[in-house]
Amino acid sequence: MRRSRALVAAVITAAIVLGNGAMPAGASQPGAGGVEFLVTAHLPTFPCRPPGCTGTFEGMSTGTLAGEDDSGIHWSVAWTGGQSQGSFSYVDSCDVPAGIAAGGGNLTASVGAVTGTYGEPAPGAPFPLPVIGVNTGLTFEWTRIGLSAVLITRVSVSITVVKPEGIVTIPVVDDHLGAANAQFAPTGPASTCAAPQPLDAVVLGTNLITT
């Protein structure tokens, strides 16, 4: 128990830097901000030898993003208490404490968890339109050594906006390629290749986005 608490505390206080070397891919809408996520990964078997296993994750996210869409319209969004979920395939080595994974998921937040604006003051319309939702879709490739992992991510972001014609979804970041680091904190009992067990692990990260 003491070791587990110390581990979680170490993860939570660890400095995690994501997005170094981020580069745009696909559309090049200018944008910047960060997304923080705290999820629990469920691994049905750990370690999992080749050909691999499938796991899931869910948790929460917070974030602040801003930029311009394809039409050059400025947008901003901030959320707290958003939801995160996804799935991944993974495989672990039994020779060294390492593993790789690939998967995808969504970070979402809706009314009551989101604030933001779309558009800029204009003659006759001095106030921007409200943003009421955000959906960050991502795919990732994960390489873990010990409790640290390096991720390559592709992120797309769409926001939900109230417009005069109704509630619409607007893509604002398209297939943004980035590199990231993350921390992996097992919360279950230690397991070995000789006696693999199901495992839950806390994953905490911050994804900085600059396009």
Q: Which residues form the interface with another protein (CB under 8 A)?
A: 79-81, 110-115, 119, 122, 124-133, 160, 162-164, 167
Residue 192 Cβ, how far from another protein at the closest point, in Å?
Answer: 35
Query: Toward another protein, which CB reaches closer, 33 or 99?
Result: 33
Residue 6 makes CB contacts below 8 A (sequence gap 6+) with none
- C-alpha to C-alpha distance for 172 and 66, rounded to whole angstroms: 9
**SS3 (DSSP) at 4:** helix
- Distance from C-alpha of 157 to C-alpha of 134, rounded to nearest angstrom: 7
Which lies closer to another protein via its Cβ, residue 72 or residue 126?
126
Q: Which is nearer to another protein, 106 or 181 (CB)?
A: 106
Residue nearer to another protein on the CB measure, 118 or 140: 118
**Per-residue tokens: 39:** 């999820």
Nearest distance from C-beta of residue 145 to another protein, angstroms: 35
Phi-psi region of 175 (alpha: psi -120 to 50; beta: other; left: phi over 0): left
Structure tokens at 25: 């891919």
Dihedral angle computed from the Cα positions of residues 34, 172, 87 and 112, in that order, rounded to the nearest 10 degrees:
70
Taking the complex as a whole, the smallest distance from the CB of residue 82 to another protein amounts, in Å, to 10
CA distance 171 to 128: 17
- Nearest approach, Cβ of residue 134 and another protein (Å): 12
Provide the minimum distance between the beta carbon of 129 and another protein in the complex, in angstroms, as a whole number. Answer: 6
Pick the closer one to another protein by CB: 131 or 149.
131
Q: Radius of gyration of the chain from Cα atoms?
A: 19
